[in-house]
């Protein structure tokens, strides 16, 4: 895939924007649809409807991007827009900004988990 | 936007979404990053693309490829469900130096990095080690035993890479699940040790205040 030219269609979906409302979502941020089939009250691209459909099960930005074949940047914009419309909820548990106590607690859980693999 | 930034809340109250953590798998081009992800992931490694236009001006890059309007960088990743509340993602970083700008974005908030080295060409993994050290990302080194043969000992590689004494260096075959699990476990344990010492450090001033008061 490296070095392959792409058509600019993905940026038509986002109206030419490469940044969404809100900040850049981490690739592992989890999105889940709040109310399936809910009408967000504006015309939204079909790709955004696809996101609402697959995020009935919580999925990361990276997974959404991969499953729908959308570049990461486009996925972020669409998810941020849906979050702004309260159509999806995004959990951005930033490990980097978590308190050191929370980090220790999470890593203990993770260590027990990987040992049990 | 409707995002939850209260981390403590996420940890203590089960949300509908699991907490997602991530670990990077890095090293130079062709050292076995995607293989390693695939060995331990519960799903076939997925691929996503970050377009270069995501990162702003790309003039220099486009000068080298004037016939292309946009270039994409493939990002392979896997997933391990730890529990209903905790999911771990493994991201293979783009192997070529010219894509290293993408690392910042992927590295933000990572638990740590597993750096794979191929002893026949150690130098291709130097950028990943430099990057982890510079950004203070906890990392472990995995010497990939290609075809069952490790050409150098752990000590030789440790010397050649000049990594800090507390950085775990393991020899393993990235195709073997038990080996990858050992590397992953070593990384999480290392990251936890770092977090614990940071926590101990952050408690010291308070302890100092207390002893000052006590002595007065």
What ipTM is given for this predicted complex?
A: 0.81
Cβ contact B4–A96 (<8 Å): no
Residue B145 contacts A where some CB pair is shorter than 8 Å: no
For residues A55-78, average pLDDT: 92
CA distance B18 to B181: 22
Strand partners, B89: B22, B79
For residues A58-85, average pLDDT: 91
Question: To 5 degrees, how large is the angle CA B92–CA B190–CA B31?
Answer: 30
Alpha helices, DSSP H, located in chain B: 7-12, 33-40, 59-64, 101-107, 126-134, 154-161, 177-215
Token digits of residue B187? 């990384």
CA distance B73 to A4: 9
Cβ contact B18–A58 (<8 Å): yes
pLDDT bracket for residue B23 (50, 70, 90): very high
Within 8 A of A105 by CB-CB distance, chain B residues are 11
What percentage of chain B reaches a pLDDT higher than 70? 71
Residue B201: C-alpha distances to residues A100, B137, B196, B205 (Å) = 10, 18, 8, 8
Range of weakest confidence among B73-77, B78-82, B179-183? B73-77
Portion 32-91 of A in contact with B at CB < 8 A: 32, 34, 58, 60, 62-63, 65-67, 71-73, 75, 80, 83-84, 86, 88-91
Indicate the residue of A3, A95, A104 with minimum beta-carbon distance to B199.
Answer: A104
pLDDT bracket for residue B3 (50, 70, 90): very low
CA distance B87 to B76: 17
For residues B3-26, average pLDDT: 63
SS3 A10: helix
pLDDT bracket for residue A64 (50, 70, 90): very high
The answer to whether the CB of B145 falls within 8 A of the CB of B175 is: no
Range of weakest confidence among A6-15, B10-19, B75-84, B172-181? A6-15
> Is it the case that residue A6 has pLDDT exceeding 50?
no
pTM comes to 0.80
CA distance B216 to B212: 6
- The closest alpha carbon to A12, from A64, A41, A61, A47, belongs to A47
Residue B89 contacts A where some CB pair is shorter than 8 Å: yes
Q: Report chain B's mean pLDDT, rounded to a whole number.
A: 78
Alpha helices, DSSP H, located in A55-97: 61-68, 72-84
3-state SS, A94-113, equals CCCCCCHHHHHHHHHHHHHH
Instruction: Please give the residue that has the higher pLDDT: either B175 or A92.
Output: B175
Residue A24 contacts B where some CB pair is shorter than 8 Å: yes
Q: Compute and round to an integer the Cα radius of gyration of chain B.
A: 20
Residue A30: C-alpha distances to residues A117, B103, B109 (Å) = 23, 20, 14
pLDDT on residue A40:
63
Token digits of residue B118? 């191929």
Within 8 A of A10 by CB-CB distance, chain B residues are 51
pLDDT on residue B189:
98
> Is it the case that residue B112 has pLDDT exceeding 80?
yes
């Amino acid at each position: 895939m490296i070095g392959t030219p792409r058509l600019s269609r993905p940026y038509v979906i986002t109206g030419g924007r490469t940044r969404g409302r809100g900040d850049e979502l981490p690739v592992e941020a989890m999105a889940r649809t709040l109310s399936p089939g809910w009408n967000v009250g504006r015309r939204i691209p079909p790709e955004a409807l696809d996101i609402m459909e697959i995020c009935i099960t919580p999925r990361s930005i990276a997974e959404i991007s991969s499953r729908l074949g959308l570049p990461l940047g486009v996925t972020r914009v669409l998810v941020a827009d849906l979050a702004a419309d309260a159509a999806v909820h995004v959990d951005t548990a930033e490990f980097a900004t978590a308190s050191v106590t929370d980090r220790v607690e999470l890593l203990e859980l993770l260590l027990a988990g990987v040992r049990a693999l | 936007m409707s995002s939850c930034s209260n981390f403590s809340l996420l940890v203590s109250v089960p949300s509908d979404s699991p907490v997602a953590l991530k670990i990077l798998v890095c090293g130079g081009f062709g050292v076995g990053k995607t293989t390693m992800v695939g060995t331990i992931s519960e799903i076939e490694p997925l691929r996503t693309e970050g377009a270069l236009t995501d990162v702003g001006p790309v003039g220099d890059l486009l000068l080298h490829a004037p016939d292309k309007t946009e270039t994409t960088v493939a990002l392979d990743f896997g997933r391990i469900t730890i529990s209903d509340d905790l999911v771990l993602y493994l991201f293979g970083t783009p192997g070529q130096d010219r894509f290293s700008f993408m690392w910042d974005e992927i590295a933000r908030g990572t638990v740590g990095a597993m750096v794979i080295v191929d002893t026949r060409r150690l130098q291709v993994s130097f950028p990943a080690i430099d990057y982890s050290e510079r950004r203070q990302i906890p990392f472990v080194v995995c010497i990939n035993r290609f075809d069952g043969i490790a050409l150098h000992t752990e000590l030789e590689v440790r010397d050649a890479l000049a990594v800090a004494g507390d950085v775990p260096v393991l020899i393993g075959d990235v195709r073997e699940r038990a080996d990858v699990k050992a590397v992953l476990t070593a990384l999480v344990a290392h990251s936890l040790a770092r977090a614990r010492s940071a926590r101990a450090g952050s408690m010291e001033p308070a302890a100092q205040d207390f002893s000052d008061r006590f002595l007065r």
